[in-house]
Amino acid sequence: MNYSYIIIDDDPESVLKTKAITANFSELHFIAEAYNYADALNLIIEHSPKLIFIEIDPVHKKSKLSLNLIDTLYRYLTVIPKIIITTSKKDLAYEAIQYEVTDYLIKPLKKIDFKKLILKLKKIHWDDEIFIIQSPHHEENSISTLSIETSHKKKNHILCIKSYGDHRYIDSKDICYLQADNNSTDIHLNNGEVVTAFKTLKHFEAVLSTPFVRIHNSFIINRNYIARIHTGNSVCYIKNTTIKLPFSKSYKKNIDFIISDFSNENYIEV
Q: Give the model's pLDDT for residue 131.
A: 34
Query: What's the mean pLDDT when you consider all of the chain?
Result: 84
Q: Say whether 184 sits in a helix, a strand or coil.
A: strand
Cis, peptide link before residue 136, omega less than 30° from 0 = no
Q: What is the pLDDT of residues 83-97, one digit of tens each?
A: 999 999 999 998 888
Report the C-alpha gap between 134 and 101 in whole angstroms.
Answer: 14
Say yes or no to pLDDT of 142 above 70. Answer: no
Same fold, 3-129 and 170-263: no
Q: Give the model's pLDDT for residue 31.
A: 94
Q: How crowded is residue 262: how many other Cβ atoms within 10 Å of its Cβ?
A: 14
Q: Give the model's pLDDT for residue 194.
A: 93
Say yes or no to pLDDT of 145 above 80. Answer: no
Q: Give the model's pLDDT for residue 127.
A: 44
Q: Give the model's pLDDT for residue 246.
A: 96
Q: What is the pLDDT of residues 199-250, one digit of tens each?
A: 889 888 888 888 899 999 999 999 999 999 999 999 999 999 999 999 999 8
Say yes or no to pLDDT of 256 above 60. Answer: yes
Return the domain boundaries, the chain: 3-129, 170-263
Q: Give the model's pLDDT for residue 205.
A: 87
Say yes or no to pLDDT of 141 above 60. Answer: no
Say yes or no to pLDDT of 143 above 70. Answer: no
Q: Please, are residues 225 and 238 in contact by the beta-carbon 8 Å criterion?
A: yes
pTM of the complete model: 0.52
Query: Which amino acid is present at 150?
Result: T
Q: Give me the sign of the Cα torsion angle 47, 52, 56, 60.
A: negative
**Spatial CA neighbour of 35 closest among 68, 59, 14, 10:** 10
Q: How crowded is residue 39: how many other Cβ atoms within 10 Å of its Cβ?
A: 15
Query: DSSP secondary-structure letter at 59?
Result: S
Report the C-alpha gap between 77 and 98 in whole angstroms.
Answer: 19
Q: What is the pLDDT of residues 17-47, one digit of tens each?
A: 999 999 999 999 999 999 999 999 999 999 9
Choice among 11-15, 191-195, 261-265 with the minimum mean pLDDT? 261-265
Summarize the confidence of residues 105-134 as an average pLDDT: 74
What's the topology of domain 170-263? OB fold (Dihydrolipoamide Acetyltransferase, E2P) (2.40.50)
Q: Give the model's pLDDT for residue 66.
A: 94
Q: Give the model's pLDDT for residue 220.
A: 96
Q: Give the model's pLDDT for residue 234.
A: 94
Say yes or no to pLDDT of 265 above 90. Answer: no
Torsion (CA) 61, 64, 68, 72 in degrees, nearest 10: 180
Count Cα atoms within 13 angstroms, Cβ side, for 61.
0
Q: Give the model's pLDDT for residue 113.
A: 94
CATH code at 3-129: 3.40.50.2300
Q: Give the model's pLDDT for residue 209.
A: 83
Long-range contacts of range 60-67, CB-CB < 8 Å, 24 or more positions apart?
60/10, 62/36, 63/10, 63/35, 63/36, 63/37, 64/36, 64/37, 64/38, 65/8, 65/9, 65/10, 65/36, 65/37, 65/40, 66/37, 67/95, 67/96, 67/99
Q: Give the model's pLDDT for residue 199.
A: 86
